[in-house]
Amino acid sequence: MYESARCAVRKSGLDGWLLYDFHGMNPLARRVARLPEDGVFTRRWFLWLPSEGDVTWIVSRLEQDQFSGLPGRKRSYVSWRELQEQLRVTLSGAARIAMEYSPGAAVPTVSLVDAGTIELIRSLGVEIVSSGDLVQAVEAVLDDEQVTSHRRAVGHLMRIKEEAFEIVAEKVVAGDPVDEYAIQQEIVSRFAAAGLVSDHPPIVAVNGNASNPHYAPSKERHSPIGVGDLLLIDMWAREDSLLGIYGDITWMAYVGSQVPEEMSRVFDVVRRARDAAIEFVDEALEEGREIFGYQVDRVARDVIESAGFGEYFFHRTGHNIAHEVHASGVNMDDLETQDRRRLLPGILFSVEPGIYLPDFGIRSEVDVLAGEGGVEVTTLPLQEKILPLLE
């Protein structure tokens, strides 16, 4: 049951992976441990996944029945002294282990074990390293079936994006009112018809609203869409299944026949940043070089900063994509965090640089699958220019 996790431990050269949770503070541990979602766990538990030897649980005697059906040796405790002794015995012989810890809290998504517990385990004479890459190997590396699900979702997203732009053009030409919220709801209805689900409704934003990367139109708060407006559509969804993997895209259009020169110029900078990041990853993987998330962000950010727009690019370049749209794997980030996790083959991630000026915002977002010898952009075609909707 835990062989994929132990395989990742062996490949990393570590002695083991110590999972720990208390009152749900470490959801990663619960998922890797395959604890039942409806289980009630009110006491501290540990799961030791050694590179060699027995899988071992350390659980409260009050709750040991909750763990009886799970594989592995069970050690129980009542007092805190017994807990510490069980940890000492279980970790005997281990020198270097992983936990959900990030030095300096650099990667918050894996910085989940409290400082006191880290101190306790270190007091037993072991070195603790981050489990970030182990988490990736178990949760973020996609298999063929998951990749196929992602491709199906992307196919629907690309079609729905085209339909949304067509609706805007038809409404404007006919003189019918249309607004951000109405288009958002058209997209949502098409998600449902295609069997797709999403954690939040898509972003449909015009002009200055597009300068807020997390703008969300609502029934109460939205802007009309008309001639001369710049339009951003950011949508993400997956199939409604346990194997469903998200697709996530952002496209730009202009409600008119001639895109203003300034908007085109800014989009070109974003496009070049996007393509530079993709090329960097592709070349590194082709050459067999190890690369990290922060390096990809830096490549894209350098392009935007060199063009004089650095202050207007205020989010990371990309994020990991899996069953959650913002999943637990490596992010392309040297801004909000410095993500030093490796890009592993089988990792899916977005590349979505943006420039957010006071009057309008520009973003281009694609999905990229890392392979053994390069990358695949799964959301082709790449957008090369802002689409004029009234040609």
Cα separation, 193 vs 159, whole angstroms: 13
CA distance 92 to 139: 28
DSSP string, 99-157: ES--GGG-SGGG--S-HHHHHHHHTTT-EEEE-HHHHIIIIIS--HHHHHHHHHHHHHH
Q: For the chain, first and last CA: distance in Å?
A: 57
Domain around 279: 141-388
**How high does pLDDT run on average in the chain?**
96
Q: Choose the final residue of a domain: 77, 104, 139.
A: 139
Q: Are residues 147 and 126 in the same domain?
A: no
Distance from C-alpha of 278 to C-alpha of 367, rounded to nearest angstrom: 10
Cis peptide leading into 36, omega within 30 of 0? no
What's the confidence (pLDDT) of residue 40?
Answer: 81
CB 21 within 8 A of CB 58: no
Domain match, 125 and 270 both: no
Among 358, 361, 369, 391, which Cα is nearest to 318's?
369
Task: Quote the number of domains for the chain.
Answer: 2
Domain shared by 189 and 102, yes or no: no
Q: What are the distances in angstroms from CA 373 to CA 150, 273, 286?
A: 20, 22, 4
**Taking Cα atoms as reference points, which of 292, 24, 16, 290 lies closest to residue 131?**
16
DSSP 382: P
Instruction: Say if residue 102 is in the same domain as residue 241.
Output: no
pLDDT at 391 over 90: no
SS3 content of the chain, % helix, strand, coil (to 5): 40, 20, 40
Instruction: Return the sign of the alpha-carbon dihedral for residues 197, 380, 354, 348.
Output: positive
Domain ends where: 123, 139, 155?
139
Side-chain half-sphere exposure of 110, counting CA atoms within 13 A: 30
The reported pLDDT for the residue numbered 69 is: 85
228 and 368 housed in the same domain: yes
Condensed to tens digits (0 to 9), the pLDDT of residues 322-356 reads 999 999 999 999 999 999 999 999 999 999 999 99
Q: Please report which helix (H) or strand (E) contains residue 57, including its range.
A: strand 56-60
Q: Looking at 89, 114, 139, which one is the last position of a domain?
A: 139
The per-residue pLDDT for range 251-308, each reduced to its tens digit, is: 999 999 999 999 999 999 999 999 999 999 999 999 999 999 999 999 999 999 999 9
Q: Are residues 126 and 150 in the same domain?
A: no
Residues 50, 178, single domain; the answer is no
Query: What does 339-376 look like in DSSP terms, one character per residue?
Result: ---B--TT-EEEE--EEE-SS-EEE-BEEEEE-SSSEE
Q: Which two tokens stand for residue 29?
A: 């541990």
Encode pLDDT of 2-55 as tens digits: 888 999 999 999 999 999 999 999 999 999 998 887 778 999 999 999 999 999
Query: Do 145 and 135 sit in the same domain of this protein?
Result: no
Same domain for 202 and 183, yes or no, is yes
Q: How far apart are CA 58 and CA 74, in angstroms?
A: 6
Q: Are residues 250 and 369 in the same domain?
A: yes
Q: Distance between CA 25 and CA 29 in Å, rounded?
A: 9
Going by C-alpha positions, the residue among 282, 346, 281, 319 that lies closest to residue 150 is 346
Which residues does residue 248 pair with via DSSP β-bridges, in sequence order? 236
User: In 3-state terms, what secondary structure has residue 238?
Assistant: strand
Taking only the tens place, the pLDDT of each residue in 47-78 is: 999 999 999 999 999 998 889 889 999 999 99
Domain harbouring 181, CATH code: 3.90.230.10
| Mean pLDDT, residues 136-149 taken together | 94
236 closest CA partner among 146, 150, 354: 150
pTM of the predicted model as reported, rounded to 2 decimal places: 0.91
Q: Do residues 376 and 309 both lie within one domain?
A: yes
Task: Summarize the confidence of residues 354-366 as an average pLDDT.
Answer: 98
Q: Is 87 helix (H, G, I), strand (E, B) or coil?
A: helix
CATH of the domain at 118: 3.40.350.10
Q: Both 132 and 167 in a single domain?
A: no
Only one residue has tokens 């074990």, namely: 113
* Distance separating alpha carbons of residues 117 and 290, to the nearest angstrom: 32
